[in-house]
Chain A
Amino acid sequence: MTFRTKLLLLFVLTVVVAVVLVGAIVSAATRRAFERLDAQRVAALVAQFQQELARRKHDIARQVKDIADADTTLAMAIDISRTDADPAAHVDDARPLAAAHNLDYLELVSSDGGIVSSAQWPARFLYQEDWVLRRDDWNSREPFLKREELPSETALALVCVRVASVADRKLFVIGGEALDREFLSSFVLPAGMRALLFRDPQSVIGASGPVPETDPLAPLLEAIRKQHDGEVARTVQWSTDAASAEAFHAIPLIGPDGELMGAFLVGSLRAEQVRMQRFLRRMQILVAAGGILLAVLVSLWTTARITRPVEALATGARAVAAGDWNAQVDVRSDDEIGVLAATFNHMTRQLLEQRDRLVQAERVAAWRELARRLAHELKNPLFPLQITVENLQRARASHPEQFDEVFRESTATLLAELGNLRGIIGRFSDFAKMPRPQLEIVDLNELVRESLKLFEAQMQAAGVTLRLELAADVRAIQADPSQLGSALQNLALNAIDAMPSGGTLTVRTVSEDGGVRLEIADTGQGLTQEECDRLFTPYYTTKTHGTGLGLAIVQSVVSDHGGRIAVRGEPGRGTTFLIDLA
C-alpha cells in the first residue's frame, strides 16, 4: 500500500469516525428531546382525560339524582309499586327523560330488578337487572364504568345509580353516558397525537369511529389485559415503514369490582421523530461524503507535497540502479525532502564522477594490462629473435665457416618466431575488428552437438565426461552458427582447461521466459567472486597462457546476438556459464 493510500485512508477514517460520532450524539440527543416532549404531552392528555372523566361523573351523578328526585319519578315509583301495576304504562318513559337530561343511557328498574323502561334498548322491558339489587348504598356511590349491552354492540358507559324510594318499594334510576367517539372528540389533542378507547374484549374506537385495523395493537391489548393495574406503554408498527410507528400509553379503565373494562390509549406518532432522524442520517451521509471528498483532496494535496518528491527520489534511485547514473531529482523545497533530494543529486553526481574516474582507471588499467600482455606476448618471440641475431653475429665474427649452417638454423628460428608474432598480432586484430553476425535459423541443440564433437578426443584424453542435457522443446533461434559455435567451443575449451584432473562437462539447453538458455558447467577449480566480476574484461585471464581475449570475444558474440552471458562460480565447486538468447 502506498504512502498516499495510507494517508488517504487515515484522513477518511478520521472524517468518518468524527461524523459518525457526532451523528450518534445528535441522534441520541434528538431522540431524548422527542421522548421528553412526548412524555409531557402524554401526561397532559392523561390529566385531561382524568379531568373529563371526573367532570362527567359529576354531571351524570347530578342528572341521575335529578331524575330520581323528580316528582314524575316518584309518581312512577308509586304507580309501579301497585299490585295491579300495568307494565305498559311507563315502558316509553325512559327515552324522553334521558333526552331531557342529556343522558345516553337511562333505565328505570323496579324493586324486583325488572326493567320498567329502557331508553337505550326499549325492547328490554321486564328483563332483569339483578346486579342492581346487590347493593343498598347506591345513593352514596360514585358513578362507575359498566359494559352496556345494546342491540348491535356492547358499549362502555359511565353510569350512576340512584334510588327513588316509596315506602319499601324502590325504583332504581340507572343513568349514564357512553364513552364513545363523542367522548374522545372532547379532547384537545396536539398535532401527531390521538386518543383511542379500548373496550374489552376487542373493540378499539377513535374520535372518527372504529379503528379499522387492530391486529398491530394486539400485543398492547394483551399487555393491558395482563397488567391492568398500571399504565402500559408500547410502540406499535402500523406498516413496514418506520415512520408509521406510534407510541401508545394505555391507562386501564377498571370497573367497580376491579375488573378490566377497557383502556384509554394515547397514541403519539413517531413520524416526526423518524423524519428528523432520517434527515439527520441524510445530513450525516452528506457531511461524511463531503468530508471524505475533502479528505481525498487534502490527502492528495498533502501527499503530493510529500510523496511526489519521494517518488521522484525513488524514480531517480531506480534509474541509478538501472545504470543511468546521470539521474537527477527535480525537487525544490526547503524541507527535509528537499535536503534529501539535493543530497541524492549530489550523490549521483559523485557516482558519475567516480564512475568516470573508474572507467578511466579501468581503461588505464586495461591499457596497462594490454601493454603488459603485449609486452609479455611480444617479449617471448622477440627474445629468441634477439638471441638468434646475436648468434648470427657471433658466428660471422667467430666461426665464419659455420656461418651458413648457423645462418640456416637461425633464419628458421627467426621465421618461426616471426610467425608467432604475426599470430599474436592477428588475434589482437581479430578482436579489434570482429564482424557483425550473419543471422540465420539455427537449431541450438544441433549446434551444441556439432561444436562439441570436435573435443571428443581431447575430453577423453583429459578424463572429462561430457553430459548433454538438451531440452527437446528448445526452439530455433536467429544466430550466426559460426560465431556462436566459436563462442561455445571457447567456453568448452576453458572448461576442459579448468579440469586438468578430469571431471564432468555439462552442457544444458532450456526454454526460458520466451527465450533459450545455454548453460556450460564444469566441475573444475571454480572462480572467486572477483574473478567472476572481471572475467569478461578484455585481456583478463586466470590462465598462465593466452591473450585473455577469449571470454571477451564470447561476450561480444553473445551481445551481438542480443543475449546476455553471466558466470557463476565458487572456488572448488566448478564454474557455470549462462547464456540467454532471445
Chain B
Amino acid sequence: MRLTAWLPLAVLSAFTVLGGAATRPRYGGSLRVEVRAAPASLDPAAQDAAPLASLVFEPLVQLDATGAPLPRLALSWQRDPSAKRWQFNLRPGVRFHDGLPLVAAAVVASLQAALPGLSVSAAADSVVIHAERPMPGLLFDLAHNGLVFTHNAEGGFIGTGPFRLASWTPGRTATFTANDDYWGGRPFLDAIEVQMGRGLRDQLVDLEIGKADIAEIGPTDLRRAAERGGTVWSSAPLDLIALVATPGRGEDPRVRQALALSIDRAAMHNVLLQKQGEVSAALLPQWLSGYAFAFAAAPEVARARAIAAALPPRDRTLALSYDPAVMVARALAERVAINARDAGLTVLVSPLNPQADLRLVAIRVPSLDSARALAGFAAALGLETPGPALSSEVLYESERKLLEDFRVIPLFHLPDLYGVASRVHVFPPPPIARLGEWRFENLWLSETAP
C-alpha cells in the first residue's frame, strides 16, 4: 500500500520548528494540557486514552511525518518475502517505569491482545509475529495499535515512555512526570498536568487567558486561536465525518441518494471547517487510500431535486441526529439540512435523537492498513464486511460497493487540532504524530510560569 505524504503537516511542523529554533531549549516547567476525553484509566488499548497513553507507552515502530516507519522500541526488523513472518529486534537498554528491563516476553504479552489472529512469540531479544496471510501493513498496525506495556503489582499499566504516570483522578486530572531514565533522553519538561473532560469552549478560554498551554480546538476556532498569537498543531485527517442511516429506517435508497447529491461539501469545508481536513466522499482518507478523489464529492442539486420529486411526500422528510460532542457537528448538520431543502427534502436536526433516520458521526481511522481500515470502518458503520483486498483496485471496488446504497455518506476527514500557547516550544520530531500521538518529550517551555 502506498501512503500519501501529508505535506501540510510537514509544512506546519517545519514552520513550528523554525519558529521555535530561535529560543534555546531549557529544562523544567510543567506543561498544562486540557482535553475533552475523560477516560477512566490509562489503558493503552482504550481509544479515548490514546493521546495520553502515548506519553507513557511506546510501540515497536513509529511513523515519521511522511508516514515512513521508524524504529522505536524495535531497533530493526525483518520480514520474509511473503510478509507472513516478521521479526523485530528489541532496542537494548530500555526499562519500564518500574525499573524492570524491556524483554521480549513482555512485548509478546502486550501484543497478543492488540493483534488478534496473529501468532506473537519471543525469540531471545526479538519478537516474532506470524500470520496465515501476508501482513504488508503490519508496521503501520504496530505503530497505531501496538503499545508495549506491563503490569504492576496492583494491576496497573506500566510503560517505557518519556513520561511516567504520577497521579490519576479518573475523568478529571492526570499528572505525568519526566522519566529520568528514558532511553531517548530525559524530556525537557518536568511534568505534564492534564485536565480531562473539558469542553472545547472552556479549553479555548483557558488557552486565551493563559490557564492552559495546549488545548483542543475546533476548526471554527482556528482563526481566533491564530489571531491571539498562538500556534496550531494538527494531526493527519484521522476522523471520518459522515452521515449514517439508522438501520430499519428510511429503506428507500433514493432518499439517501438525493440527500447525498444535495450536499455542498466545499462550502462547509471553506467556511465551517476553515479549510481544515479534506473534503471526502470516501471512507478512507486520500492520504491512506490514494484514491479518495475518485469518489465524487461535488453537489448535483438538479439531479437531487429530480430524484426527490419522484419520492412520495411522506418520504421527503428525514430526522438527522448529531452528537454535540463532535466538533462543529451542529453547524454541519444544519448546513446539510439547508442543502437538502434545495433538493426538496426536509431534514429536521436535533441532538442525540435515537429515533432519527440519520446520524452525523465521527469515526477514527481504525488502522493505517487500508484494508484493515476499511474493514474497521465497515464494522463501525454496520456495513457488510468487505472481502480481502489484494490490490488497490480491489480495495477501491470494495469501498465503492459499501457506499453504493448511500447508507453511509462520507463528508470530511478531519484532523486533531490543538491550540498552543506561545510559551510552548518544540524540537523535532513534530509534537503531534501522524496518528495523533503526543510526542512531548521534545517540548520545552520558555518560562516556568505564565
- Where the two chains meet, the residues of A that have a C-beta atom closer than 8 Å to any C-beta of B are 86-89, 91-92, 121-127, 151-152
Residues of chain A within 8 A (CB-CB) of B338 are 121, 123-124, 127, 151
Q: Which chain B residues in 211-225 approach chain A with CB under 8 Å?
A: 220, 223
Q: How distant is the Cα of A152 from the Cα of B346 in the complex, in angstroms?
A: 10
A35 CB to closest chain B CB (Å) equals: 46
In whole angstroms, what is the CA distance A83 to B337 when docked?
A: 29
Whether, in the assembled complex, B402 has its beta carbon less than 8 Å from a beta carbon of chain A, the answer is no
A122: which of B223, B267, B270, B334 is its contact (CB, 8 Å)? Answer: B334
Q: Hey, which chain B residues are within 8 Å of A124, CB to CB?
A: 338
Is B378 close to A, CB under 8 A? no
Of the candidates A88, A89, A151, the one whose C-beta lies within 8 Å of that of B349 is A151
The reply on B173 being an interface residue by CB < 8 A is: no
Q: Which of B271, B272, B334, B338 has the most CB of A within 10 A?
A: B271
Q: Decide yes or no whether B335 CB sits under 8 A from chain A.
A: yes
Query: Shortest distance in angstroms between A529's beta carbon and chain B's nearest beta carbon?
Result: 107
Cβ distance A72 to chain B, nearest Cβ, rounded Å: 15
Q: Indicate if the CB atoms of A125 and B271 lie closer than 8 Å.
A: yes
In the complex, the answer to whether B331 meets A87 with C-beta atoms within 8 Å is no
- Identify which of residues 126-177 in chain B touch chain A, using a CB-to-CB cut-off of 8 Å: none
Known: A87-B267, A126-B267. 17 other contacts (CB 8 A): A86-B270, A87-B271, A88-B223, A88-B270, A88-B272, A88-B275, A91-B272, A123-B334, A123-B335, A123-B337, A124-B338, A125-B267, A151-B334, A151-B337, A151-B338, A151-B349, A152-B348
B346-375 to A contact mask, C-beta < 8 Å, 1/0: 001100000000000000000000000000
Please state if A91 and B271 are interface contacts (CB–CB under 8 Å). Answer: yes
* Interchain CB contact under 8 A, A92 and B220: yes
B274: interface (CB < 8 Å): yes
Chain B, 310-356, CB within 8 A of any chain A CB: 331, 334-335, 337-338, 348-349
Q: How near does chain A come to B409, taking the closest CB pair, in angstroms?
A: 17
Interchain CB contact under 8 A, B270 and A87: yes
CA distance A49 to B319 in the complex (A): 39
Q: Which A residues are CB-close (under 8 A) to B348?
A: 152
Nearest chain-B residue to A89 (Cβ)?
B223
Residues of A contacting B337 in the complex (Cβ-Cβ under 8 angstroms): 123, 151
Q: Which residues of A contact B334 (CB under 8 A)?
A: 121-123, 151
The 5 A-B residue pairs with the shortest CB-CB distance, nearest first, are: A123-B334, A123-B335, A88-B271, A88-B274, A123-B338
Q: In this complex, what residue of A is CB-closest to B266?
A: A126
Residues of B within 8 A of A89 (CB): 223
Q: Which residues of A have CB within 8 Å of B270?
A: 86-88
CA distance A504 to B272 in the complex (A): 138
Q: A122, A151, A152: which contacts B331 (Cβ < 8 A)?
A: A122
Contact: A126 with B271, CB < 8 Å? Answer: yes
Chain B residues within 8 Å of chain A by Cβ, number: 15
Residues of A within 8 A of B267 (CB): 87, 125-126
Q: Whole-angstrom distance from the CB of B272 to the nearest CB of chain A? A: 7
B184-228, CB < 8 A from A: 220, 223
How far, in angstroms, from A69 to B348 measured CA to CA in the complex?
37
- From 225 to 265 in chain B, residues with beta carbon under 8 angstroms from any chain A beta carbon are none
Q: A121 CA to B267 CA in the complex, in Å?
A: 15
Give me 16 A-to-B residue pairs in the complex whose CB atoms sit less than 8 angstroms apart, sorted by A's number.
A87-B271, A88-B270, A88-B271, A88-B272, A88-B274, A89-B223, A92-B220, A121-B334, A122-B331, A122-B334, A123-B331, A123-B338, A125-B267, A126-B267, A127-B338, A151-B349
Residues of A within 8 A of B349 (CB): 151
- Closest Cβ of chain B to A354, distance in Å, is 111
Indicate the member of B275, B331, B338, B348 with the most A CB atoms within 10 Å. B338
Q: Which residue of B lies closest to A125 (CB)?
A: B271
Shortest B47–chain A CB gap in Å is 30
Q: In whole angstroms, what is the CA distance A88 to B349 when docked?
A: 22
Tell me which residues from 260 to 289 in chain B have a Cβ below 8 Å from any Cβ of chain A: 267, 270-272, 274-275
Q: Shortest CB–CB separation between residue B12 and chain A, in angstroms?
A: 18
Chain B contacts for A125, CB-based, 8 A: 267, 271
Q: For B271, what are the chain A residues with a Cβ–Cβ distance below 8 Å?
A: 87-88, 91, 125-126
* Contact partners of A123 in chain B: CB under 8 A: 331, 334-335, 337-338
**When chains A and B are docked, how far (Å) is the Cα of A124 from the Cα of B338?**
7
A320 to B338, CA, bound (A): 111
CA distance A125 to B269 in the complex (A): 12
A86 to B338, CA, bound (A): 21
In the assembled complex, the Cα of A86 lies from the Cα of B335 at a distance in Å of 18
Inside 8 A of A122's CB, which chain B residues have their CB? 331, 334
- Closest chain-A Cβ to B57's Cβ sits at a distance in Å of 38
Chain B stretch 44-97: residues in CB contact (< 8 A) with chain A: none
**What is the distance, in angstroms, from B201's C-beta to the closest C-beta of chain A?**
13
Q: Bound complex: CA of A174 vs CA of B117, how far in Å?
A: 63
Task: Give A80 Cβ to nearest chain B Cβ, in Å.
Answer: 12
State how many angstroms separate the Cβ of B97 from the closest Cβ of chain A: 45
Cα distance A319–B337 in the bound complex, in angstroms: 108
Docked CA distance A236–B267 (Å): 50
B273 to chain A, nearest CB (A): 8
Q: In this complex, what residue of B is CB-closest to A152?
A: B348
What chain B residues lie within 8 Å of A87 (beta carbons)?
267, 270-271
Say how far A490's CB is from chain B's closest CB, in angstroms. Answer: 114
Q: Which residues of B contact A121 (CB under 8 A)?
A: 334, 338
Q: Give CA–CA (A86, B331) in the complex, Å.
A: 18
Question: Which residues on the B side are within 8 Å of A126 (C-beta)?
Answer: 267, 271
Instruction: Give CA–CA (A87, B348) in the complex, Å.
Output: 26
Convert B108-128 into 0s and 1s, putting 1 for each residue whose CB lies closer than 8 angstroms to a CB of A. Answer: 000000000000000000000
How far does the alpha carbon of A89 sit from the alpha carbon of B335 in the complex, in Å? 17
Contacts of B335 in A (CB 8 A): 123
* Alpha-carbon distance between A121 and B349 when the two chains are bound, in angstroms: 13
Expressed in whole angstroms, the Cα–Cα distance for A89 and B227 within the complex equals 12
Tell me the bound Cα distance from A91 to B348 in angstroms: 22
* Closest CB in chain B relative to A93 CB, distance in Å: 12
Chain A nearest CB from B332 CB (Å) reads 9
Question: Which residues in A have their C-beta under 8 angstroms from that of B331?
Answer: 122-123
Instruction: Give B320 Cβ to nearest chain A Cβ, in Å.
Output: 11
The residues of B that contact A127 with a CB separation of less than 8 Å are 338
**Least CB distance, A152 to chain B, in whole angstroms:** 8
Q: How far is the CA of A121 from the CA of B341 in the complex (A)?
A: 13
Closest to A127 in B: B338
Chain A residues, CB < 8 A from B274: 88
Cα distance A226–B346 in the bound complex, in angstroms = 31
Q: Which residue of B lies closest to A123 (CB)?
A: B334
Residues of B within 8 A of A152 (CB): 348
Q: CA A80 – CA B267 in complex, angstroms?
A: 16
Smallest CB separation, A92 vs chain B (Å): 7
